[in-house]
Structures are given as structure tokens and as C-alpha cells.
Amino acid sequence: MTKSDIVERLTRQSGLKKKEVLCIVDGFIDKIKESVRDGNNVEIRGFGTFYQAEKKARKVFSPIAGKSIDVPQKVTLSFRASKVADKKHIRGA
């Protein structure tokens, strides 16, 4: 499911205009990114937690170059599903 699919479904369910729903969805995503970028976790109970994950520097093999390449350390946005969401929706329990 893409963001446009979510906007379409929410537009049908809410009766709001598509532009209004898109603005809400974009604002929601922006606030999550902003909060995590500021070092905060964003927990949505029953769904999961967005957080910063640090990826350590490492060496990888590049089949194109035919040699090992150093990949620098970086910080990424990550998501961990809650146990409730995992059980109910992903595993179908």
C-alpha cells in the first residue's frame, strides 16, 4: 500500500477533500520524522515505535567494482511493530 492508497481510502471514509487528507497525512509523516530527527522515539500504542537506529561502519563487497568498499556509519529512521500489532495483524492471531 502506498501513501496515495492511504489518502484515497481515508478520503472515501472521512468525506474530506483529497487535498485536506493529503495535508493531514503529510503533516503526520513530517512530525514523526521531525521528532525522531530530534532524538525522540514516536510510540503509537497498539501499532509500533519509530526511532533512530545507528548503523555501524562496515565493509561490503561490490560485485561491480570487484572489491571491498567501506560503508560509513549512518543514522536511519527505523520502525518496530508493537507486540499487539504483530500478533493481531501480521500473524493473524
Model confidence over 64-78: pLDDT tens digits? Answer: 989 999 999 999 999
Give pTM, 2 decimals. Answer: 0.73
Q: Among 59, 41, 65, which Cα is nearest to 51's?
A: 41
Rounded CA-CA distance 5/14 in Å is 14
pLDDT number for residue 90:
61
- Residue 3 gets the label, from left (phi > 0), alpha (psi -120 to 50) or beta, of alpha
pLDDT tens per residue, range 5-44: 999 999 999 999 999 999 999 999 999 999 999 999 999 9
**Given CA atoms 51, 14, 26, 91 in this order, what sign does their dihedral have?**
positive
